[in-house]
Amino acid sequence: MQKQISNLDKLTLSNDFLFKHVMLRKRICKHILEELLHTQIADITYLEAEQTIDVYPDSHGIRLDVRIADTANTHYNLEMQVKNPVNRATGKFLLPKRTRYYQAMLDTDMLQKGQDYDELSPTYIIFFCLFDFFQDSQRIYTFKKCCLENMNIELADEAVIMFLNTLGTKGDVSPDIQSLFDYINSNTINSNFTREVADTIVEIKNDKKVRDAYMTYEMRMKDLRDEAHAEGLAEGKAQGLAEGKAEEKTATAKRLLSMGLSVEDITKATSLSVEQVEAIEVE
């Protein structure tokens, strides 16, 4: 049991589990959104943390770290992205099309039967990235749909995707956002805001409910690994041990994806690489 507790103590803000719990602190999350978007937000409501949206039985479900709505009915999805996933078979990076799929699923989930398209809420999908996907050193990359023939013409669909590059050096961000980037990168506390974040993390890690939830999660992952190992051994006897282990890991990864676990968590459970899990995710 001590092993699970010490694992929680070692988590940093870049970990999905801890990121979710920090963003569930309304004052911190609301302040981050206000600083990023340069606006005042009266209040935010948590729609469902770590929600898995699976609109159709045979569709590819997605897990959302934190999903929020404000009093103006603007919806936000906040995600932590530690690594830059790539499909080994094609060599293509997966993040752009992942955002496309997230947006489509969010819209489909949001619009109820009989509602008009103009009832879709404005949305922001925001990725905190510990890498520079576009290799231009921008701190923030913001995407909206524009006309290629005249970039001043915007398709006002009110859907925005933002990639926050914690390693960026170009573009202006508020002091609190920069201090948050520094904290994500190196646990450096250089502002009152990151002191609040750090104190909140200590509080979260000392919360018995959180510790119990994390211990339960760790035990569940161990059970899944043990189950996968047993299934792999049985299958390996019939088809060869090496082939059985490979298929065992693939089958386990598919099950965990369908349950909504993150790629990072699945790599821990199966020993597959991030690239391998991402390739399975897009099948």
Secondary structure of 79-148 in HEC code, one letter for each residue: EEECCCCECCCCCCECHHHHHHHHHHHHHHHHCCCCCCHHHCCCEEEEEEECCCCCCCCECEEEECCECC
Please report the pLDDT score of residue 54 as a whole number.
43
Show the low-confidence residues of the chain (pLDDT under 70): 1-6, 48-65, 113-114, 228-229, 231-244, 260, 282-283
CB 242 within 8 A of CB 219: no
Please report the pLDDT score of residue 231 as a whole number.
66
The pTM (predicted TM-score) of the whole model is 0.74
Please report the pLDDT score of residue 171 as a whole number.
97
Please report the pLDDT score of residue 235 as a whole number.
58
Please report the pLDDT score of residue 64 as a whole number.
56
Core vs surface per residue 100-136: b (16+ CB within 10 A) or e:
eebbebbbebbeeeeeeeeebbebbbbbbbbebeeee
Q: CA dist 98 to 62, 64, 94, 172, 252, Å?
A: 9, 12, 6, 27, 21
- Residue 8 corresponds to which amino acid? L
